Copies of this chain bind each other. A is one copy, B any other.
Amino acid sequence: MTERHDPDVLFKALADPSRRKLLDLLHAHDGRTLNDLCEHLDMTRQGVTQHLDLLEAANLVATVRRGREKLHFLNPVPLQEIYERWIAKFEKPRLKALGDLKRRLEKTNV
C-alpha cells in the first residue's frame, strides 16, 4: 500500500530554501496554481517549475490539471517518513520513549 521512496531524492528536495518556501506556501494555502506560487518567489516561472518538479519527484507535492492551469497540493507523508526512519532513531533515550508512545497511540487510530 505505502510505496517505498528514495531517501536521497527526499533529502535533496528539502535541501533548497526555495523548495522549502514552496512547501510553506502550500502549507499555508493548498491547491495553488503555478503562477500563484511564482508571485512569492524571486525567480522566473521556469525556475519555480523546476523546483516543483523536484518536489513532485520526492512525492511532496501532487498536481492536478484544471483546464489551462495546474493546481499544486502538499503531501506531508514523506516528511513523516523522514521523522520515523531518520529522526526518531537518533533521539535521545528520554525522547525516544515518548516517540514510541506517540507511534503506539497512532496505530490505535486515536
- Listed in ascending order, the chain A residues whose CB lies under 8 Å from chain B are 7-8, 11-12, 14-15, 17, 20, 23, 27, 74, 76, 79-80, 82-83, 86-87, 89-92, 94-95, 97-99, 101-102, 105-106, 110
Q: How far is the CA of A76 from the CA of B91 in the complex (A)?
A: 6
Choose from B12, B23, B83 the contact partner of A83 (Cβ within 8 Å). B83
Query: Contact: B79 with A90, CB < 8 Å?
Result: yes
Copy total for this chain: 2
The main secondary structure of chain A at its interface with chain B is: helix
Bound Cα distance from A85 to B80, whole angstroms: 13
Say yes or no: A99 contacts B98, CB within 8 Å: no
Q: List 15 A-B contacts (CB under 8 A).
A: A7-B20, A12-B15, A14-B14, A14-B86, A15-B15, A20-B86, A79-B90, A83-B83, A83-B87, A97-B110, A98-B105, A98-B110, A99-B102, A101-B102, A101-B105
